[in-house]
Chain A
Amino acid sequence: MKIDSQHPATGRSAGVRHRLGLPGLIYLAIPCLAVLLLPLYNRADPQLFGIPFFYWWQILWVPLSGFFLYLAYRRVEKGR
């Protein structure tokens, strides 16, 4: 089953996806680094609503990772 689209060499026009490129990769790497740098967040303070830093920092990066995924999405789908 072959549903080929346009020629890959000529088709980088409207509707065609862009490469992630360096900016895209950086967007994706930021949330990864934020949770991989354990020594920076393996501590109690500052607390938030009584929750130690270790816990709220990692939970915070869940929605933030969504934001950075959005930036990467915009880059791939719209070239921005």
Chain B
Amino acid sequence: MHLSAIVVFLGLFFLIAFLGFLSARWQRADLGQLHEWGLGGRRFGAWITWFLIGGDLYTAYTFVAVPALVFGAGALGFFALPYTVLVYPLVFAILPRLWSIAKHHNFITAADFVAARYGSPALALAIALTGIVATMPYIALQLVGVEVVIAGLGFPTHGVVGELPLIVAFVVLAAFTYTSGLRAPAAIAVVKDVLVYITVLALVIVVPLQLGGFAKIFADIPKHLLYLPPVQGNDLGLQSFYITLALGSAMALMLYPHATTAVLSASGPKTLRRNWIFLPAYSFVLGLIALLGYMAYAAKLPSNPSLAPYFHAYGPQFAMPGLLLQYFPGYFVGIGFAAVAIGALVPAAIMSIAAANLFTRNIYRAYWHPNCSAGQETQVAKLVSLVVKFGALLFILLLPTQFAIQLQLLGGILILQTLPAIVSGIYTRWFDPRALLLAWALALAWAIWAASLTSFQKSSYALHLAGWTIPGYIGLYALLLNVLLALVGTLLLRSLRWHSTVDHTDAAAYEELRQDA
């Protein structure tokens, strides 16, 4: 047990729990309205949006998994960097329009938009279900980050006593999300980021000094890990996988329900665009975090007898916590571990709110209780956010962690298949909803089949084309198939004049509103 680390950790944890409950009073409004509880009233300015999107996208799992990947797989793990470089230009070009349309019609979710744009409840249901299914394992994975740091504090993580801290953390999270809605993670995100920046800066300054500089660290890494292997004959190998994985992950990130929730909660397109100029600051930190994997490698952490049992239990995932334990005093370990744990609660809260919004709007209200009042709607969303979180908790407690990791991998592939319906809808009503739905279903089926080839261990598929072998990200290949099928299907329906022209959205909604200051 590390007493000073535990004291600091608990102190910070109580601070954010208090903030979470207090945030219900912030920009006070009627929390019985879904756009207030679930989107913070669409009033978050540039600063809060920056913290909220940052807290949303750079999760605890990122802090643990990215160094773990670099530690274990070398250069391939660095794909997280091009991925975050690609994501902001993409969202900059596309999402402000979605914000304007959503504001105009009071849409809470992307599926709301699809339902109105195509007049197709079935297509909207497909989008909503994909979102919920992709989000659930993502929430569960946040718990893995918490589990690793709780173990690092010296608690056992197995058996009933060992799981108690995790359960307590989650009950607190569930309670303040229930009462405060999206305001809670927005308020906590600020504290989380301060802790993360302090921890990461300390790590990237102190550890290289201890290890004798970056040149020495990189000299310790085997050459075959340091770069992607050269193209062998007609096989592009890891190179094409690296690029397609980065591009596909960037597009998938934009479509995740929790990303939509954070984007729609901003006060306007100008806020969003200004915010995206500065969001790469997080990616910069992410790049430094990725390098921690090499530092852990060069420091030969697993051969340290006091850390060996953790590496035995958690593998490369202990790279970042291990560096903290190796090089820092107890109180600072407490700060770093609190950053990871709180870094799990922020996105877990946003994700559960996003999933709850989807369920309430696109399943409960669309199919079950179309005439429900605003108050009933919000009450359902609050309850569903609880169900979603406890589902994720049970997931981690009862099933092997590996399942959550594999499902999250699959989740990214699945969510990417909602792109044609959502993104094309922002620009044009040309596509036919039935063609989009069929293309979505077939692309999903192909993607799941392709992932099953590696027993859901990898997200790579080797495409053979004109004598070349092009291993690539399954999600991106499935998306190409998806777009192709939607195009062919729509052309066919249009040539037979069987296409639908229903559109419940206003043309004026596509012009940006001047609302945002």
Instruction: Determine the distance from Cα of A66 to Cα of B89 in the docked complex, in whole angstroms.
Output: 9
Evaluate contact between A65 and B89: CB separation under 8 angstroms. yes
Q: Chain B nearest CB: distance from A49 CB in Å? A: 6
Size range of the chain A interface in the assembly: 35 or more
Asked whether, in the complex, the Cβ of A43 is within 8 Å of the Cβ of B85, the reply is no
Q: How far is B229's CA from A43's CA once the two chains are assembled, in angstroms?
A: 10
How many chain B residues touch the partner (CB < 8 A)? 50
Main secondary structure of the interface of A (DSSP, over half): helix
Residue in B closest to A39 when the chains form the complex, CB atoms: B239
Q: Closest chain A residue to B81 by CB distance?
A: A58
B88 with A65: CB separation less than 8 A: yes
- Is the pair A77, B270 in contact by a Cβ cutoff of 8 Å? yes
Contact between chains at B86 and A32 (CB < 8 Å)? yes
Contact with A along B73-96 (1 / 0, CB 8 A): 001001001101110111011000
| Chain A CB within 8 A of B318 CB | no
* Across-interface contacts of A77 in B (CB, < 8 A): 270, 273
Is there an interface contact between A16 and B514, defined as CB atoms closer than 8 Å? yes
- Known contacts A39-B239, A66-B280, A69-B88: A2-B104 contact under CB 8 Å: yes
Asked if B487 is at the interface of the complex by the 8 Å CB criterion, the answer is no
Q: Indicate whether B226 reaches chain A with its CB closer than 8 angstroms.
A: yes
Of A36, A54, A65, most buried by chain B (CB within 10 Å of CB) is A65
Beyond A5-B514, A28-B93, A36-B243, whether A62 also contacts B273 by CB under 8 A is no
Report the nearest B residue to A2, measured CB to CB: B104
Interface residues of A in 18-75 (CB under 8 A from B): 20, 25, 28-29, 31-32, 34-36, 38-39, 42-44, 47, 49-52, 54-55, 58-59, 61-63, 65-66, 68-70, 72-73
Q: Interface residues, chain A, CB within 8 Å of chain B?
A: 1-6, 8, 11, 15-17, 20, 25, 28-29, 31-32, 34-36, 38-39, 42-44, 47, 49-52, 54-55, 58-59, 61-63, 65-66, 68-70, 72-73, 76-77
Sample 29 A-B pairs with CB under 8 A, ordered by A number: A2-B104, A3-B103, A4-B513, A8-B511, A17-B270, A28-B92, A29-B89, A32-B86, A36-B86, A43-B227, A50-B213, A50-B214, A50-B215, A52-B227, A54-B227, A55-B78, A58-B78, A58-B85, A59-B81, A62-B84, A62-B283, A62-B284, A65-B85, A65-B280, A66-B277, A69-B88, A72-B92, A72-B273, A73-B276
